[in-house]
Chain A
Amino acid sequence: MRSCDSVFPWSRRQWLAVAASGLTGVARAAAPSSKVALARCRAYGKAVTPALRRMFDQLGGIGRLVSGKTVAIKINMANPLLARTGHTPAWFTRWSHPDVIGAAVQLFGEAGATRIRILESSTEDDNPLEENFLIGGWDPAPLLTAAPHVEMENTGSLGYGKKYHRITVPEKPYIYPGFDVNHSYVECDVLVSISKLKEHLKAGLSLSLENMVGIIPPAIYGDAAPYDDPSPRSYGARTMLHTGHRQPSATAPAEVDQATPREFGYRVPRVIADIVRARPVNLAIIDGIETQTTAEVAALEPGDKRQIRLVKPGILVVGWNPVCTDAVAAAAIGFDPMADRGKAPFENCDSMLKVAEEAGIGTRDLSKIEMVGAALREVGFPFRG
């Protein structure tokens, strides 16, 4: 296992556990590939809908995917809700911009979606999601009327559901065999991940794959989750996913092997692969019109030598497969999607792209991905260049 060298302080016991799990980096069946569309879109507002429409067409159309279906859209509205990078509203830096969400909702409606549900959890409240838009400073009303039958739900706990639903990793889970999630991620036909084009301080990238961590309810997996039953309210960061310091509430599946490394850089890419295998993403949309570099958070810890820059790459990336889409997006901001642990942007962690590829979710190899629309060299915006 090439990525495990002296940099990683794993115990022999942890080593043996990983080796025994059969997940030592050997690729299983060839990971699937699918088209990814790339487009220049320099500003939010009216330009977004035609750009997205053109990209959907370039992918072959979304009618087959959404017509007559209930479409769930997992947006990215990372906590804390009241944190801003400087004075800049979060939808320019860390969150999926509502104009991108609204354009997608409109186009799904036009393509015949019967019900469209905008979803996000919160680690600090169980407010109706509409309220969390308002807390961020955005009026959600136009989103709710962008198409017929649009709803919102905060999925951090039971939400409007009566019970949690189990999603299961179909084959050889890395960390968790399954997860208990809000009903919205099961009672839908199509799942769309709309994320921001941004880096993650520890996990390297925060794109459509990493966005899926947000489907895990803090009521069960948060710092304040009780050990027996889920909390009635959502509260607390999902630290256990990062550290493995405890198991979720007993009603949810525990880890398959608690002897695996308790290290963020090992766990998080694998937890993400488990989540995305248990609840596949059918369409990935990455908002890179405006964003920030370096981190998924609004401010760095004091003394951190890195710097967050507000940037306007002016790009959108859309694809059917989240790994392929994230690989193209990573390349668009100057990273090698084939990079392994130790190389940017995965200096401190295993590559979530590699792990997801090995899990059979999708390929990260650009030579195997059909890219349509704008050329990478035309729209590329290296974050660290």
Chain B
Amino acid sequence: MPELIPFRWPAEWKDASRLELIKGTPINCLVGDVRPPFPLGDLQFFPNDGLPADIAVREGAWPRVLLAATKKDAAEAGATGAPWVDSNAGLIRIAQLMEPGKPVWLSTRPPAGKEVVPLEEFARAVAEACTYGARWMIAPDGPFRGELEKRGETGLREWKRVVSALNLFDRHPEWRSWAPVAALAVVSDFAGDNKLMAEEFLILAPRRHLAYRAIRKADAAKASLSGVKAILYLDGAPPEGEIREKFLEFARAGGLLISPRGVVAEEPKETFLNYRIHRLGKGRVAVPKEAWYDPFLLVAEVQLLLSNRENVVQVWNGGSMNSHLLASPKNDRAVVHLIPYSSGRTQAVTLGFSKPYRSARICTLDGEKVVRPVRGQIGTEVPVGEFSTYAAVELEA
């Protein structure tokens, strides 16, 4: 059965001619309050209150840099002092972790009221969800709907970009099966008292391009740690039993274990940042001096404990942008998804990789181009250039 690609059908659209909009696009199912009063052909229909049970639906955020409501052109300061970004990366990955195997749909609606939503943001919402292996229930709300109804030039141009984003991912179904590349594994039960810190970590880590692989504590004993250089054990109490032994063995073999106090008995020999560092075999165990309380600070500390040397992607001139690196099972092909959360064109973006790649193809909503990776002082650099809304960088080793 093909993957369902949803579109919220406005109840006001009672004319079958409106179907022209989605004809020939990858959209294959409609969602709405009432079934449209005309034949739908191959399209499936689901009422809002009757979505398939095997789909994990989450109400996400409208993906963008949040502008201060009262200050024109001023970005809302986030935890970092940098602009606050509403992103669904963490939300989607948490949903995938907690409900494995289920497709994830975002039910996000564009901001309503007096707020003006740039139409280009609709394509971003599609691309962002696809980047992380989810689907946005495309909602042509507000002025966008008005533009589409009158078949205005601006509306149709932006709709074309929405479809362009869907088509791009449709042409690359393999991306959806590739695994995130990360040197960090984040382990937690993501429940109870641990839920807030663990989830916030997953939500905030992409802001620093800190790639991770999330593992549920229940799966940790059997989980592969291939390629992992550090484990962050994000529960209030240290690991016990089989997991503890596995993680300590990981450290002895040269890895870094970041864990609450109590995981090792010996006195630490050194400190780094707010951590006591225990040497264990060829590796290290880092124990915070005080309980974690600030997830963004924790993200920054983990990145330094691990070192920026282990960043799987470095993004220059990225601004408020997420990057997401996925690799094929043989590790001979990879793709980096880039989502700028600001409107307009980016600066000239450059990506850096510790792994050497021999070719790179840049896919944007406006077209594709091949660029030659260049040797950087550390690893390989790919000059992506300027783009808007979304870019995928396909890499071959």
Interface residues of A (CB under 8 A from B): 82-84, 86-87, 89, 125, 127-128, 131, 134-135, 137-139, 224, 235-236, 298-299
Q: Is B14 an interface residue (CB 8 A)?
A: no
Contact A137 B81 (CB under 8 A): no
Contact B377 A89 (CB under 8 A): yes
Question: Which of these, A125, A127, A139, contacts B378 with CB under 8 Å?
Answer: A139
Contact B81 A224 (CB under 8 A): yes
Query: Which 5 residue pairs spanning A and B have beta carbons closest together?
Result: A134-B308, A87-B383, A84-B316, A87-B350, A86-B348
B279-307: which residues lie under 8 A (CB-CB) from chain A? 300, 304, 307
Task: Return A138 CB to nearest CB of chain B, in Å.
Answer: 5
Task: Return A290 CB to nearest CB of chain B, in Å.
Answer: 14
Question: Which of these, B304, B309, B348, B377, contacts A84 with CB under 8 Å?
Answer: B348
CB neighbours of B315 from chain A (8 A): 82
Contact A83 B316 (CB under 8 A): yes
CB neighbours of B128 from chain A (8 A): none
Chain B, residue nearest A302 (CB):
B344
B137-179: which residues lie under 8 A (CB-CB) from chain A? none
CB neighbours of B307 from chain A (8 A): 131, 134
Contact A137 B381 (CB under 8 A): yes
CB neighbours of A298 from chain B (8 A): 317, 347
Chain B, residue nearest A130 (CB):
B307
Question: Which of these, A89, A135, A224, A236, contacts B376 with CB under 8 Å?
Answer: A89
Question: Which of these, A84, A128, A135, A138, contacts B317 with CB under 8 Å?
Answer: A84
Could you tell me the distance between the alpha carbons of A137 and B378 in the complex, rounded to whole angstroms? Answer: 6
User: Size of chain B's interface in residues, with CB distance under 8 A?
Assistant: 21
Contact A137 B377 (CB under 8 A): yes
Could you tell me the distance between the alpha carbons of A135 and B377 in the complex, rounded to whole angstroms? Answer: 12
Interface digits, B306-337 against A, CB 8 Å rule (1 contact, 0 not)? 01110100111110000000000000000000
Contact B316 A235 (CB under 8 A): no
Q: Is B110 an interface residue (CB 8 A)?
A: no
Could you tell me the distance between the alpha carbons of A224 and B383 in the complex, rounded to whole angstroms? Answer: 34
Q: Which of B304, B317, B378 has the most CB of A within 10 A?
A: B317
Chain B, residue nearest A299 (CB):
B347
CB neighbours of A86 from chain B (8 A): 348
A82 touching B316 in the complex, CB below 8 Å, given contacts A128-B304, A135-B308: yes
Could you tell me the distance between the alpha carbons of A236 and B308 in the complex, rounded to whole angstroms? Answer: 21
Could you tell me the distance between the alpha carbons of A86 and B349 in the complex, rounded to whole angstroms? Answer: 8
Contact A83 B376 (CB under 8 A): no
Task: Pull 8 A–B residue pairs with CB atoms less than 8 Å apart, ordered by A.
Answer: A83-B316, A84-B317, A89-B376, A127-B304, A131-B307, A135-B308, A235-B81, A299-B347
Interface residues of B (CB under 8 A from A): 81, 300, 304, 307-309, 311, 314-318, 347-348, 350, 352, 376-378, 381, 383
Q: Which of B311, B376, B377 has the most CB of A within 10 A?
A: B377
CB neighbours of B316 from chain A (8 A): 82-84, 87, 137
Task: Return A201 CB to nearest CB of chain B, in Å.
Answer: 17
Contact B317 A82 (CB under 8 A): yes
A236 touching B81 in the complex, CB below 8 Å, given contacts A89-B377, A299-B347: yes
Could you tell me the distance between the alpha carbons of A298 and B314 in the complex, rounded to whole angstroms? Answer: 17
CB neighbours of B378 from chain A (8 A): 134, 137-139
Chain B, residue nearest A141 (CB):
B309
Could you tell me the distance between the alpha carbons of A235 and B381 in the complex, rounded to whole angstroms? Answer: 29
Could you tell me the distance between the alpha carbons of A223 and B348 in the complex, rounded to whole angstroms? Answer: 28
Chain A, residue nearest B318 (CB):
A82
Contact A137 B376 (CB under 8 A): yes
Interface contacts beyond A82-B315, A87-B381, A89-B377: sample of 16 additional A-B pairs, CB < 8 Å, sorted by A: A82-B316, A82-B318, A83-B316, A83-B347, A84-B350, A87-B348, A87-B383, A128-B304, A134-B307, A135-B308, A137-B314, A137-B352, A137-B376, A224-B81, A298-B317, A298-B347
Q: Which of A82, A84, A87 has the most CB of B within 10 A?
A: A87
Could you tell me the distance between the alpha carbons of A245 and B314 in the complex, rounded to whole angstroms? Answer: 36
Chain A, residue nearest B386 (CB):
A86
CB neighbours of A82 from chain B (8 A): 315-318
Chain A, residue nearest B315 (CB):
A82
Chain A, residue nearest B377 (CB):
A138
CB neighbours of A125 from chain B (8 A): 300
CB neighbours of A138 from chain B (8 A): 377-378
Task: Return A69 CB to nearest CB of chain B, in Å.
Answer: 28
Q: Which of B308, B378, B383 has the most CB of A within 10 A?
A: B308
Could you tell me the distance between the alpha carbons of A32 and B304 in the complex, rounded to whole angstroms? Answer: 45
Task: Return A128 CB to nearest CB of chain B, in Å.
Answer: 7
Chain A, residue nearest B82 (CB):
A124
CB neighbours of B81 from chain A (8 A): 224, 235-236
CB neighbours of A87 from chain B (8 A): 316, 348, 350, 381, 383
CB neighbours of A84 from chain B (8 A): 316-317, 348, 350
Task: Return B80 CB to nearest CB of chain A, in Å.
Answer: 8
Chain A, residue nearest B317 (CB):
A84
Could you tell me the distance between the alpha carbons of A348 and B215 in the complex, rounded to whole angstroms? Answer: 57
